[in-house]
A and B are shown apart, each in its own frame.
Chain A
Amino acid sequence: MPIQVIFEFLLIISLIICAVFALTSKRLLAAVVIYMAYSLVMTVIWVLLQSPDLAITEAAVGAGVTGILFAVTLKKIHALKGTKDE
């Protein structure tokens, strides 16, 4: 098996693992970080699928801005530990 096929299989398996763990993670901040990792893996897959346009956008939006917005929202609704009104 050529090395690129093995690499693609590894990427897809890690993508599925990231997707499952982002859903099942109990801690919300960890779920957001896992989702950002999912976006990074997806970026590499877009490059392998020869669409660099989408790869740039995925890296900037999926791994950057969306994660920040999720984290800010979690802080705003007091879902992070240490930001609760007690």
Chain B
Amino acid sequence: MASKKHSRFIDWVNGDTAEKVHEYKFIQKTVPPHSEQAHDEVISTRKARLFNISYEISAVLVCVILVAVLLFTVFNLPLFGSAGNPASNEVAERYLEKGLEETGAVNAVAGMILDYRAFDTFGESSVLFIAVGCVMILLMRDKNNISATEDSLEENERLIEIETNDPILQKIVLLIVPCIFLFGIYVILNGHLSPGGGFSGGAIMGAGLILFAVSFGIDAMQSFFSIKTFKAITTTALMCYATLKAYSFFMGANGLETGIPLGTPGAILSSGLILVLDICVGLIVACTMYGFYSLFARGDI
């Protein structure tokens, strides 16, 4: 009895619910078995065997050379913790000592990544943007690249999703999702005062969006977050970041006056541009996380 229960649990974990019979017809594809004989003939020729042996030998050689080069580099690195290391030069000291008066951010990490090294963070946001663009190119469903069979399969899956809505899950998600969003917004807005910031807050909000989409389905999600919203939010946030930071680098380099007030350290409206940049990064990350999930799962946003 116990073992049967156990195997049923494993089946459930694997997503195998054989008892439930859906009335929708699945269109099944049958793949013809590979013809192994032809494959064997190719392998058994002498040239191919020679190629295989030389391939293995060269693979081992490349691995050994790579390991040797990496080990040589590791042994030539400076010792951990010695005073002459690049990691312990005057830059880190200056960040810690003058960071508060120069950036106005109580959280030194936020001051570093969104003021001193803001172009780094801009690059990271652009990487996320380009990544979601590439996923769109590869996985987005379009009239041109989808056949009628695949289309009807997707439609079947959507109907099953609607049929199998779980009321317990939906009630609990309705309780949890506002808390997740509140925490995400708090982490973003408080990024210059406490641990957190744009990236972590955006990831939390993106996880909340994914949770909502999983439990309520695509139709409820698209009532407030369609592909148009996605495009508008990501491009606007990225352009806003670029414009603001270009202004402050162009006008405020080498201690020039930028005209952006730093405010009193510790207040919520302080530290100049960091709050706005945090919001931009948070919006980009939240949209990107949800976009990844949505494109992976359905090929659509």
Contact = CB atoms under 8 A, between A and B. Distances in A.
The A interface, classified by DSSP as helix, strand, loop or mixed, is: helix
A80 B15 contact: yes
Interface in A5-43: 27, 29-30
Contacts of B16: 81-82
B210 A65 contact: yes
B14 to A, nearest CB: 4
Nearest to B199: A57
Contacts of B214: 68
Contacts of B28: 85-86
A81 B197 contact: no
B14 A27 contact: yes
A81 B14 contact: yes
B14 A29 contact: yes
Contacts of A61: 203
B228 to A, nearest CB: 23
Contacts of A64: 203, 207, 210
Given A69-B296, A80-B15, A81-B14, A52 B29 contact: no
Interface in B186-217: 187, 195-197, 199-200, 203-204, 206-207, 210, 214
A72 B293 contact: yes
A81 B11 contact: yes
A85 B203 contact: no
A72 B200 CA distance: 22
A39 to B, nearest CB: 12
Contacts of B207: 60, 64-65, 68
A53 B11 contact: no
Interface residues of A, number: 24
Given A27-B14, A56-B187, A82-B15, A72 B203 contact: no
For A64, A81, A86, the residue with the greatest tally of chain B CB atoms inside 10 Å of its CB is A64
Given A60-B203, A64-B207, 15 more contacts: A29-B13, A29-B14, A52-B195, A53-B196, A55-B195, A56-B195, A56-B200, A56-B204, A68-B214, A69-B296, A72-B293, A75-B297, A76-B297, A80-B15, A85-B29
22 contacts: A53-B195, A53-B200, A55-B195, A57-B199, A57-B203, A60-B200, A60-B203, A60-B204, A64-B203, A65-B203, A65-B207, A65-B289, A68-B214, A68-B293, A72-B293, A72-B296, A73-B296, A80-B15, A81-B16, A82-B17, A83-B15, A85-B29
Interface of A: 27, 29-30, 52-53, 55-57, 60-61, 64-65, 68-69, 72-73, 75-76, 80-83, 85-86
